[in-house]
Amino acid sequence: MRAVQPPIVPIVGRWIRETPGTISLGQGMVSYGPPPEALAAARAFGDLSDHHRYGPVEGEAALVRALERKLAIENGIRVPPASRVVVTAGANMGFLNAVLAVADPGDEIILPVPFYFNHDMAIVMAGCRTVPVRTAADYQLDLDAIARAITSRTRMVVTVSPNNPTGAVHHETALREVNALCASRGLVHLHDAAYEYFTYEGAASFSPGAIDGAARHTISLFSLSKAYGFASWRIGYMVIPETLFDAVNKIQDTNLICPPLVSQHAALGALQTGAAYTRTHLARLATVREQVFARLATIADVCEAPPTRGAFYVFLRLRAGLDAVTVAERLVREHRVAVIPGSAFGATEGCYLRVSYGALGADTVVEGIDRLVRGIRALTGAQ
């Protein structure tokens, strides 16, 4: 456990608590809550004795069937008979399930950089090794770099699209190539699509699990946290090869026994609204996104902000020889705006910062970005 990096969000949270009036552009959440159908389902929960007993390890049958329908219609993933849906307490649990199911201590898992820090933490906790692989300047996948990183100990290649922390939406062609590479080398392709609905300017999410023949070597992760404002309910799900179910069943039964039933009932209510619920909020997010990039463009002389088209993140690179953690702390202490240092995401060659604009109202986000712009100018000595 000493080898696992400390979770950065609680550290930044402590700085925020110690600096009243700070605007947080840190943690990745949305500003809206669950749909009325989800809340109604939660309020109706508890009247039956079965509501208070353990449920199936893989999730309630009604929710699993609803997810199978959603996957077929929206993602092109036909689940049975080659695959299986497993409901998890958030997509992070799904990722840890996957690592424990496919890798032994000392095995390697490839993560394109910048990576989601909890993925790296889970890999190290399992006694495995994160193999960071560079991405292009616009954070798109570098297929040659991934291929060169494969060794006899590699067990899995991870892709995240739309991406946390960069917002990049990976091209379908690239995801197909990664999936084919994994098939040819006997590896698992794990694709995390927690932000599947958050795309802009005509970009579209693609599910590698929909590729013909991919079911045997592909794990797909999904989450309700962002799309349905469900962060605290802890509900996600994974699509796994049928051959991995025995292993995942053991892991989840040990860690969880069963996903919380009240959250599963709320999730079933949320799925009645479908992707349309998220789309009602995307117009506001798209407007905020435009304002964020417009303001960051005013400091293009000291800061790079590649215009990615997904999620609700911007991954900045400062053109200055500064330490990202120090910069992040000074932005809170001196300028009352919080971001996440990029070193937590494996971006250690340079000073990177992740900015999140999803959790606040438009006016608050704009004020936070203005504070960030002023703070970066001050810390870099720019005029």
Beta bridge partners of 352: 317
Find out whether 217 and 244 touch, Cβ atoms under 8 Å: no
What's the pLDDT tens digit per position in 347-372?
999 999 999 999 988 899 999 999 99
pLDDT of residue 382 exceeding 80, the answer is no
What's the pLDDT tens digit per position in 217-255?
999 999 999 999 999 999 999 999 999 999 999 999 999
Mean pLDDT of 12-34: 95
pLDDT-derived band of residue 383, with 50, 70 and 90 as boundaries? low
Query: What's 196's DSSP letter?
Result: T
Find out whether 375 and 335 touch, Cβ atoms under 8 Å: yes
pLDDT-derived band of residue 381, with 50, 70 and 90 as boundaries? confident
What's the pLDDT tens digit per position in 81-117?
999 999 999 999 999 999 999 999 999 999 999 999 9
Q: Phi and psi of 141, rounded to 5°?
A: -65, 140
Helices (H), the chain: 8-17, 36-43, 61-70, 91-102, 117-125, 143-149, 172-185, 245-255, 261-271, 275-296, 324-335, 362-380
What's the pLDDT tens digit per position in 40-86?
999 999 999 999 999 999 999 999 999 999 999 999 999 999 999 99
Amino acid identity, position 173: T
pTM: 0.96
Q: What pLDDT sits at residue 272?
A: 94
Averaged pLDDT score across all residues of the chain: 96
Q: What pLDDT sits at residue 320?
A: 86
- The domains of the chain, with CATH numbers, are 8-34+276-380 (3.90.1150.10), 36-272 (3.40.640.10)
Two tokens at 23? Answer: 């605007």
Helices (H), 6-130: 8-17, 36-43, 61-70, 91-102, 117-125
